[in-house]
């Protein structure tokens, strides 16, 4: 079977299984197994698959037909133009989270700064910031050992030396260190949200998605604890659900933050809220 023949067959099967990105999925799998860039697959479409390649591709295709995310099949997802390893221990980085990265970059001028990323997962946010601001010193925290190991591996693979990762639950691993900026994309989905049974989310770790009955449990904990670890005038920037903007602004106001604002994501949904720490207001 040639590359083109397998690609046509795979696209048909994925469309039949209701994949929302059938051609892209098939091309990503084929490109990874052949070592050829997606843009060049058609030019070499008459190349025959080896028996080993065909067997591996068929196994991966069957898993994708069952809905398993392509990022878990390939073990990689691009974020902020960085190729990141991902695993079942972590969320798959989403494009909308880049809005949080951009806001963090906009809030602080270039120059030395201590920055904290809570619930770092694969390290996507911390590594994006580290790649853009080599003068920043960034610390990522995650409670899952597998996530911390993966984030460290991503940093080493990318050659980023201004970032470190530690295991722990939110602020617990920290001593008296204070930061100019704290960022987080914490769990924020309600326990009974029907989206948990749909799409890629079905395969992602629930502990990285669900935050109590109202989805605000972890956002509230971060707002309560951030003041003890922010410099006066430091910033807290949080990703949250599209319908949680008002609630998160309330949490920030109730815990001593000023200059509160919410930014919209690529789909024009409220997605990222910020507050500036003001001890006098706490």
Q: Compute the distance between CA of residue 138 and CA of residue 183 in angstroms, rounded to an integer.
A: 10
- Cα–Cα separations (whole angstroms), residue 246 to 88, 222, 257, 271, 273: 32, 16, 14, 11, 9
- Cα–Cα separations (whole angstroms), residue 276 to 181, 189, 217, 243: 9, 25, 21, 22
- pLDDT 10s digits, 231-245: 999 999 999 999 999
Segment 206-212 shows an average pLDDT of 68
Average per-residue pLDDT for the chain = 90
Q: Mention the CATH class of domain 77-277.
A: alpha beta
- Could you say which of 1.10.287.3510, 3.30.930.10, 1.10.1610.10, 1.10.8.10 is the CATH number of the domain covering 3-67? 1.10.8.10
Residue 107 has pLDDT above 70, yes or no: yes
Predicted TM-score (pTM) above 0.75? yes
How far is the first Cα of the chain from the last one, in angstroms, to the nearest whole number? 67
Segment 208-234 shows an average pLDDT of 87
Q: Compute the distance between CA of residue 223 and CA of residue 60 in angstroms, rounded to an integer.
A: 41
- 85 compared with 110, residue with greater pLDDT: 85
Residue 282 has pLDDT above 60, yes or no: no
Residue 166 has pLDDT above 90, yes or no: yes
Q: Residues within the annotated binding site?
A: 119-123, 142, 170, 185-188
Instruction: Note the pLDDT of residue 82.
Output: 96
Q: Residues within the annotated binding site for substrate?
A: 185-188
Categorize the per-residue pLDDT at 195 as very low, low, confident or very high, splitting at 50, 70 and 90: low
- pLDDT 10s digits, 66-93: 888 999 999 999 999 999 999 888 888 9
- CATH 3.40.50.150 residue spans of the chain: 77-277
Residue 210 has pLDDT above 80, yes or no: no
- CATH 1.10.8.10 residue spans of the chain: 3-67
Categorize the per-residue pLDDT at 163 as very low, low, confident or very high, splitting at 50, 70 and 90: very high
Q: What percent of the chain has pLDDT over 70?
A: 92
Instruction: Note the pLDDT of residue 22.
Output: 92
- 191 compared with 13, residue with greater pLDDT: 13
Q: Residues within the annotated binding site for S-adenosyl-L-methionine?
A: 119-123, 142, 170, 185
Categorize the per-residue pLDDT at 187 as very low, low, confident or very high, splitting at 50, 70 and 90: confident
**Which ranges of 77-185 would DSSP assign to H, the alpha helix?**
97-107, 124-132, 145-158
Residue 138 has pLDDT above 80, yes or no: yes
Instruction: Note the pLDDT of residue 206.
Output: 66
Instruction: Note the pLDDT of residue 42.
Output: 83
Tracing tokens 């003041």 back to the chain, one arrives at: 227
Instruction: Note the pLDDT of residue 43.
Output: 85
Residue 194 has pLDDT above 80, yes or no: no
């Amino acid at each position: 079977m040639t590359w083109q023949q397998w690609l046509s067959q795979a696209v048909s099967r994925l469309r039949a299984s209701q994949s929302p990105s059938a051609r892209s999925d098939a091309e990503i799998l084929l490109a990874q197994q052949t070592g050829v860039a997606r843009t060049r697959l058609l030019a070499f479409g008459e190349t025959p698959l080896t028996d080993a390649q065909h067997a591996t591709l068929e196994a991966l295709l069957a898993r994708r037909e069952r809905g398993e995310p392509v990022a878990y099949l390939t073990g990689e997802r691009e974020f902020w133009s960085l190729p990141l390893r991902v695993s079942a221990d972590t969320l798959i980085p989403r494009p909308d989270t880049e809005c949080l990265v951009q806001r963090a970059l906009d809030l602080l001028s270039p120059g030395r700064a201590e920055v904290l990323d809570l619930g770092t997962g694969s390290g996507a946010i911390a590594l994006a910031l580290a790649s853009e601001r080599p003068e920043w010193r960034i610390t990522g925290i995650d409670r899952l050992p597998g996530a911390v190991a993966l984030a460290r591996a991503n940093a080493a693979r990318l050659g980023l030396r201004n970032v470190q990762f530690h295991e722990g639950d939110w602020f617990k691993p920290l001593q008296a260190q204070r930061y100019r900026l704290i960022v987080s994309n914490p769990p924020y989905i309600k326990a009974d949200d029907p989206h948990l049974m749909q799409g890629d989310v079905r395969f992602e770790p629930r502990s990285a998605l669900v935050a109590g009955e109202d989805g605000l449990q972890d956002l509230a904990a971060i707002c309560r604890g951030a003041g003890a670890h922010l410099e006066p005038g430091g910033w807290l920037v949080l990703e949250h659900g599209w319908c949680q903007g008002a609630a998160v602004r309330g949490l920030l106001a109730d815990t001593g933050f000023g200059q509160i604002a919410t930014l919209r994501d690529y789909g024009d949904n409220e997605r990222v809220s910020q507050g500036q720490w003001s001890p006098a207001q706490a």
